[in-house]
Chains A and B, each alone.
Chain A
Amino acid sequence: MTTTGTPAAPPRPGGGAAPPEERPTAQERRRARRSRRYQRDVRWSPYAFVAPFFLFFGAFGLFPLLYTGWASLHRVSLTAPTEMEWAGLHNFTRLLEDEFFWNALRNTFTIGVLSTVPQLLMALGLAHVLNYRLRGSTFFRVVMLAPYATSVAAATLVFVMLYGRDYGMINWALGFVGIDAVDWQNGTWTSQFAVSTIVIWRWTGYNTLIYLAAMQAVPRDLYESAALDGASRWQQFLHVTVPSLRPTILFTVVVSTIGATQLFGEVLLFSSGGGAAGGINHQYQTLGLYLYEQGWVNLHLGRASAIAWMMFLILLLIALVNLLVARRLRKSQ
């Protein structure tokens, strides 16, 4: 930044001399008016620029959020959404003893860990590799992003076929190495693993590109001096790349965590019949799916709203933890 510093502006012609004592001319009045208008412009137009967002946010974000909160305090059925019967905090207190809710929370957490951790580690490694001078690097980068550009539904349907018990390609391949057919969908861990692979497949490339962008902003001379000090490539990665990427890593962790909390499409479509139960034993039913089941299958909008608000609170909690971690990181630097 210092090298691109701007030279001081040259004095304006006639600058510095005392202005002659005169009545304000028409030109000057115009100038003054323009200056006032300019000030108003500077002061108010930023609000005008952000207004559309907030109008939309109010209509499609805040209002639904508050209305969902209101609905969560009532007994409401989709058969008569306008007839609400006050239920107080019943929809929330019942969640405490609702084993299906805890099951969904547990599943959301385990699938979240199973998908996020390998995904970010792989993305970091891939970004490191892509950061080298490669033949056709653009090609590789585009390929990285291809899964991200695929629709959830299309990707999931393909994975469902791959993971099929009787006619799936994965079981067919396992058969060659002498492993019996795995019932991917009906086992708890197998199904959660399978769902995680869909998430990993879709999001690794996206995170890779974000890491790659951050890596390219790391000054080359850091690597050069590390190399002069005799650091191997692995040591360079560990001691130069990763510390420089800390804020980026934090960002991807937050984004992936939010994504994992809201996981929905993959699990909805993972049972080949398409079902909101998340498997015969609810073994891969996430919070989002449980919300959907309560609201749109069982038609209990009040209960669904309470689950939605619990998800919101969980996300707030995650945001808070993130804030604390970020502050710690900044202090330690």
Chain B
Amino acid sequence: MATNGTARRSTRRPTRLAAIGVSALVTGSLLAGCADDGGSDSDTGRASDGDITLNVGLFGTFGFQEAGLYEEYEKLNPGVRIEQSVVERNENYYPQLLTRLASNSGLADVQAVEVANIAEVTATQADKFVDLGGQEGVDQGDWFDWKWQQGTTADGRTIALGTDIGPMAICYRKDHFEAAGLPTERAEVSKLWAGDWEKYLETGEAFMADGPDDVAWVDSASGLYSAAISSSESRYYDEDGEVVYKDNPDVRAAWDIATAAAEAGMTDRHEQFTPPWDKAMNNGTFATLSCPAWMLGYIQDKGGDKSADLWDVADAPRPGNWGGSFLGVPETAKNKEEAAKFVAWLTAPEQQAKLFEERGSFPSAPASYETPAVADATHDYFGDAPIGEIFARAAQDIPTQIIGPKDQIIAENIGRSGVRQVEQKGLSPEDAWQEAVKAVDNALDE
């Protein structure tokens, strides 16, 4: 060791000084980097020539950009540029939005909120959003009242405007229906279960008896539960904002439908939005699927050419809403006036209709249902089904449900720990309900 000590010593000093210098530099710049966060991009909003860039924070696939709506707005408003950043899954997007709201940094000029989170946002984050109710060009009458109210706080501030909604239908496979001796024409199919989920189950029993052996009636029990609860009068909260899911007969009714289907072996035992579910869709191993308007694109995408013209769309047993979103403008947005103007334009009936035409997101503004873009819309993948008419009919009759702040968590836990345990592990509905209640209560307890 000592032999090369002298040799090393001669070079030691400069290296050491350099090392100290470098480490000090690195530390300094990194610490400065921490302190600087948020401040550094504060001036990107307004470029030197007076142009404005609006940032839009989204999750999933809204399709504004793909539908050419940004481009159109930029043309109508010279000097405004629109950029979007998208987080793929809402479960990652929403916690990020909350932390950014809390720390008041990193927020975009426009932020999207999913219907599952809108009640929590209006209840806890309202003072961090701009009131869009009085914005020029915003007419409350354009929207469904329930959609408008969901984005409005108890004291009447409308902090988020509705974009799309998810009126439900039932997508079904004509080839499997034919094989089972069931009608395949959509009006007749709708009649099979009109008004009652029980009838949907009865049709399912007939299908399981006479249909192809390796085809299930419905894709998944938890998906069926989501559909059934979406179409009921009430859900997990009562008018006073109390959590009442345990004693709510509507919840039990949806539960009974889903667990009955699971126990009878009518489900294909998949979890929705997973790769095996996609494959099952492609292979056609289930005959029906509750499909909100936004699901059609998904079915087409996963079904591919193989399933072209095999699917069709019928009315759901009862109309309901599954999904949909809102747009809001944070108070600390760099260009909040411009952003509010943009949101008002983007959520106006004409633009909603255009988004439906291009991307299939169904408008939350009934005013747009009269326009040809919606009224005459058909879908060639689904045997030219008049989807504009079908979904508009469903949308008009969507029940006004009370959405609570923790709706999503309650729904998820009932679906997973409850319904899926009946379906996947053969638990009795009673035991599974106990498991679900335990999981929900643990998740709600602060």
- Chain A residues engaging chain B, CB cutoff 8 angstroms: 4, 6, 41, 45, 48-49, 51-52, 55-56, 59, 75, 77-82, 98-100, 160-161, 164-167, 183, 186, 271-275, 277, 280-282, 293, 296-300, 302-303
Contact partner of B446 among A77, A98, A275, CB < 8 A?
Answer: A77
Q: Min CB distance, B427 to chain A, in Å?
A: 9
Known: A275-B416, A280-B416. A82 touches B102 (CB 8 A): yes
**15 intermolecular pairs with C-beta atoms under 8 Å apart:** A45-B20, A52-B23, A52-B27, A56-B30, A78-B95, A79-B102, A79-B125, A81-B102, A99-B438, A272-B276, A274-B91, A280-B417, A293-B443, A297-B91, A298-B443
Chain B residues within 8 Å of A273, by CB: 271-274
Check if B279 sits within 8 Å of A49, measured CB to CB.
no
Q: Min CB distance, B359 to chain A, in Å?
A: 24
Q: Min CB distance, B185 to chain A, in Å?
A: 32
Check if A6 sits within 8 Å of B409, measured CB to CB.
no
Give complex CA distance A9, B20 in Å: 32
- The verdict on B275 contacting chain A, using a C-beta distance below 8 Å, is yes
Chain A residues within 8 Å of B77, by CB: none
Known: A59-B31, A98-B442, A281-B421. A79 touches B416 (CB 8 A): no
Check if A281 sits within 8 Å of B417, measured CB to CB.
yes
Give complex CA distance A281, B417 in Å: 6
Give complex CA distance A45, B24 in Å: 12
Closest to B424 in A: A186
Chain B residues within 8 Å of A41, by CB: 13, 16
Contact partner of A299 among B24, B95, B271, CB < 8 A?
Answer: B95
- The verdict on B34 contacting chain A, using a C-beta distance below 8 Å, is yes
Chain A residues within 8 Å of B274, by CB: 272-273
Which residues from 12 to 56 on chain B have a C-beta closer than 8 Å to any C-beta of chain A?
13, 16, 19-20, 23-24, 26-27, 30-31, 34
Check if A79 sits within 8 Å of B424, measured CB to CB.
no
Chain A residues within 8 Å of B442, by CB: 98, 100
Closest to B425 in A: A186
Contact partner of A281 among B26, B275, B435, CB < 8 A?
Answer: B435
A-B contact count (CB 8 A): 102
Known: A55-B27, A298-B409. A79 touches B421 (CB 8 A): no
Which residues from 401 to 446 on chain B have a C-beta closer than 8 Å to any C-beta of chain A?
409, 413, 416-417, 420-421, 424-425, 435, 438-439, 442-446
Q: Min CB distance, A101 to chain B, in Å?
A: 9
- The verdict on B3 contacting chain A, using a C-beta distance below 8 Å, is yes
Contact partner of A302 among B91, B102, B413, B446, CB < 8 A?
Answer: B446
Interface of B is mostly: helix
Q: Min CB distance, B284 to chain A, in Å?
A: 13
- The verdict on B124 contacting chain A, using a C-beta distance below 8 Å, is yes
Q: Min CB distance, B328 to chain A, in Å?
A: 15
Chain A residues within 8 Å of B13, by CB: 41
Q: Min CB distance, A175 to chain B, in Å?
A: 15
Q: Min CB distance, A166 to chain B, in Å?
A: 6
Known: A59-B34, A78-B95, A297-B91. A165 touches B3 (CB 8 A): no
Check if A49 sits within 8 Å of B23, measured CB to CB.
yes
Chain A residues within 8 Å of B61, by CB: none
Check if B276 sits within 8 Å of A164, measured CB to CB.
yes
Chain B residues within 8 Å of A274, by CB: 89, 91
Check if A277 sits within 8 Å of B276, measured CB to CB.
no
Check if B425 sits within 8 Å of A48, measured CB to CB.
no
Contacts A75-B446, A167-B276 given; 19 further ones with Cβ under 8 A?
A48-B23, A48-B24, A52-B26, A56-B27, A79-B124, A80-B102, A80-B124, A100-B442, A161-B275, A167-B279, A183-B424, A272-B275, A273-B272, A273-B273, A280-B416, A280-B420, A280-B421, A281-B417, A298-B443
Chain A residues within 8 Å of B272, by CB: 273
- The verdict on B120 contacting chain A, using a C-beta distance below 8 Å, is yes
- The verdict on B76 contacting chain A, using a C-beta distance below 8 Å, is no
